[in-house]
Structure 1
Amino acid sequence: MSETKASVEYRALFNPAFCAVLLREACLGAERESKSRDVEPLSFAASFLVLPAVLHEPIRRALPKSIATSFATWLAENPIIRSQFAAVATVTKDITKNGLLFGATHGALRLDAGSVRTAGSMKIQAPEFDEANSDIGRCLRAARFMGRWLALAGNTTTTLALIGMRA
């Protein structure tokens, strides 16, 4: 693969606007769970777990099919993924910050009281894509899933500790 192609792919995948869309989808998922199950929405610290799970294909493919599987159980059943998660989260930390900043600056996300929430509306102008069979669609679905799942994961400090990170 040429350096130019890798650079183009890198810029597309880690584009702050695309990352803001993914973080917003996660917030929508978390807000759905917080309303129906009386749990907290997506915490600021937990938002840093969304992009590593969504953008890193091996982690995304290993995500459970249902939010009924607890985060702790999933990690215990996937020790290789567990060992990768913190490293990927560390690499994507600045990418997540840029996505949060872009989303907040453009009125799609609101950062308040230690949480990340949706704000305003966001219209995505993209060429038509098959959400079920495209990488973009898989990323959007995984982001919504992560938001719902992290809302149910419990204490964020404990969740981060499970993968070897600190809040």
Structure 2
Amino acid sequence: MVIAHDIYAETNPGYCAALLATFVEAYRSRNDVNPDISLCYAALPLALSGDLASSFDRTDRRTGLLEWLRRSPAIQIRLADRVNGSLDIVTEAIRFACFSRLLTIDTEGRLVAGGSPLPKQFAKQFSEETQIIFKNIDRLGCWLALAGSTRTAFDMMGLEL
């Protein structure tokens, strides 16, 4: 039996916008400042990458970015390629999130929760695998918020701004 993998569904702008809204909410829960838009370009591909899913096992919102990277150094292998390869997907997700009022972009280039937040039980209606992706991006939001500045977070991941 061959199992089909639906890349189109995973890269759907509406789905990715919901993930980004979850990311922003998690980031705000740990930081008084909204996340820089550039952090989304790292967070979304990390959360969506099926090959990295197991790296989130035995983690929670308190694990921290540096500890997660230390436990799974393979995350950083070709991370820049992964991020660069998903630029269009993330950009479309941000556009969709702004058009649907899930998110807005402030004058400093930070993402802000919009006037139409996701319902609290939104992720619960999806498959277990999809719920895990929502949990993972929630964790990334917390970890990146606690990492310090955007530059510090990118440095930890071996990425350049």
Q: How high is the TM-score relative to the length of structure 2?
A: 0.83
Q: Which amino acid aligns with 2:148?
A: G
Query: Separation in 2 of the partners of 1:103 and 1:138?
Result: 21
Q: Which amino acid aligns with 1:148?
A: C
Q: Which amino acid aligns with 1:86?
A: A
Query: Separation in 2 of the partners of 1:30 and 1:65?
Result: 16
2:136 to 130, 137, 142: 142
1:123 deviates by: 4.9
- 2:40 equivalent in structure 1: 47
1:127 deviates by: 9.4
Q: Which amino acid aligns with 2:85?
A: V
- 1:60 equivalent in structure 2: 53
Contact 1:14–1:95 (CA<8 Å) still a contact in 2? Answer: yes
Q: How high is the TM-score relative to the length of structure 1?
A: 0.81
Once the two structures are superposed, the pairs formed by residues 37-116 of structure 1 within 5 Å of their partners are 39-63=32-56, 65-112=59-106, 113-116=108-111
Q: Which amino acid aligns with 1:94?
A: D
Q: Which amino acid aligns with 1:42?
A: P
May I ask how many residue pairs the two structures share in their alignment?
A: 156
| Mapped pair 1:13 → 2:17 | no
Contact 1:86–1:165 (CA<8 Å) still a contact in 2? Answer: yes
Q: Any stretches of 5+ residues in structure 2 without a counterpart? A: none
Query: Separation in 2 of the partners of 1:18 and 1:27?
Result: 14
SS in 1 for 2:37: coil
Q: Percent identity?
A: 23
Q: Which amino acid aligns with 2:46?
A: A
Query: Separation in 1 of the partners of 2:18 and 2:151?
Result: 25
Contact 1:51–1:96 (CA<8 Å) still a contact in 2? Answer: yes
Q: Any stretches of 5+ residues in structure 1 without a counterpart? A: none
- 2:116 equivalent in structure 1: 121
1:44 deviates by: 1.2
Q: Which amino acid aligns with 2:147?
A: A
Query: Separation in 2 of the partners of 1:48 and 1:114?
Result: 13
